[in-house]
Chains A and B, each alone.
Chain A
Amino acid sequence: MVFSVALVSYHGYKKLESPTMLRLTIAFLLLGGGFTLSGVIGLTNLDIQPHSSLWVSAVVIGASSLEAAGYFFLAFSYMMNARSFGKTTIVPTFALIAAVPVIALKAIAIYFLLYGVIETLISYLKVKKVETLTIAVGLVLIVSAEFIRWISFLYPTEATILAISLVVRVFGFIILFVPVVRFISIRGR
């Protein structure tokens, strides 16, 4: 699903050589890669794959890095968009010192995601398109999923919290799929 957004964006980049489309392609490719790795971790937790704590840690850090980089490119697209409107943007600055790299990466990802949510809502106020609001809702759901996952760090034995986070996240990404569906319907006309 995430890769399909990347694919459509890549087509846009190939046809129009638009930097916006290139940034979207990179963002969704990285996010797709991150989620694929997260899926691998999920399988490992279910003991389907051979369990190795070092291996799992490496994959968790890898997945988090890819996700953070993906959200960075998404936020970067909004930053460039805001710059073209002649707005001074609040360039994300980091004041995060965390001992655990995964938590730091997740915090950075949320930071970029929140920026994306705000910029999408600002865009919605300008263009008044329902689809743009839908994307904002999708991003809000992904942010919420990350927050729920943080709560699961406090209660590591409660698997339900993690499951809720996963469901919310999947719903968020299904909503991000809306532009692809719309694009395909326009193309079909």
Chain B
Amino acid sequence: MIYRTQVKIIADVLSATNEYDYNNVGTGVTTIIRKANLSHPRLMKILSDLVSSGLLEETVKGKVCKYKLSMKGKHFLVEYNKFHEFATTFGLRL
């Protein structure tokens, strides 16, 4: 079994949000839960942290809450991919 680090979990949440945001309207919580493989309470805590740190943008339409990757979030993902490569070369994981 491989345990994910906090950075990897954040990267998974951000890439799931980015990947499944088809019409630039945001990604729903259920999709992120499935794609990032997290429980609902844990994801909600992470999403709230990511929104407050400016990596995600929250849009609420009626009862539906969706999440979009902000510019800061996109930049984080790009940097994550670069440093992931760097760490892998050393045989390490971020």
Q: Which residues of A contact B (CB under 8 A)?
A: 8-9, 11-12, 15-21, 24, 77-78, 81, 83-86, 119-124, 127, 129, 131-132, 134-136, 178-179, 182-183, 186-187
Contact = CB atoms under 8 A, between A and B. Distances in A.
A60 B80 CA distance: 39
10 contacts: A11-B83, A12-B86, A12-B87, A21-B87, A21-B94, A81-B91, A81-B92, A84-B5, A135-B90, A182-B89
A173 B91 CA distance: 16
A86 B2 contact: yes
B90 A179 contact: yes
Query: What band does the interface of chain B fall in when counting residues whose beta carbon is under 8 Å from A?
Result: 20 to 34
Given A12-B83, A183-B82, A187-B82, A18 B88 contact: no
B7 interface: yes
B37 to A, nearest CB: 16
A81 B93 contact: yes
B76 interface: yes
B86 A136 contact: no
Interface in B67-93: 76, 79-80, 82-83, 85-93
Contacts of B22: none
A189 B31 CA distance: 32
Interface in B15-71: none
